Amino acid sequence: MSSAAQAYARTAQTTASPRDIEAQALLKAANKLQDVMINLGGTDDEFAEALLFNRKLWSILLSAVTSDQSPQTIEVRQNIANIGTFVMTQTMELQLNPQREKLKSLIDINCNLAAGLAGRA
């Protein structure tokens, strides 16, 4: 990455809101999953890496939303926790039994949540 691109990335990170950063991370995870789903000739390692990235991201999101310091209402926190539980369960099932066609639900969840965070929903 060029020094100009690195400077832009640092500036973008310091000026982006937490919601924007979360939305960007969800879209990054969705893109990784989409790439694996579309590239049927991809390796098992690429599949596993995309799932691992998604699982780590959702672990962070679940930790934040279940924290006592979360600014969200109880209802919103419960809804996100329920979605997160589904995502984590689905991700673990796919790690044990890789099926690229089952990535669609994870991709849709990440994209829809990112759109909501970005105010596009």
Ordered by start, the domain boundaries in the chain are: 18-117
**CA 87 to CA 93: how far, in whole Å?**
10
pLDDT value at position 14?
Answer: 60
CATH of domain 18-117: 1.20.120.340
Specify the pLDDT at position 45.
Answer: 86
CB atoms within 10 A of CB 90: 18
Asked if residues 102 and 89 have their Cβ atoms less than 8 Å apart, the reply is no
Q: What's residue 42's pLDDT?
A: 66
Crossing angle of helices 104-117 and 74-96, in 10° steps, is 150
pLDDT of residue 50: 93
Q: Give the per-residue pLDDT at 95.
A: 87
Q: Write out residues in the chain with pLDDT < 50, as ranges.
A: none
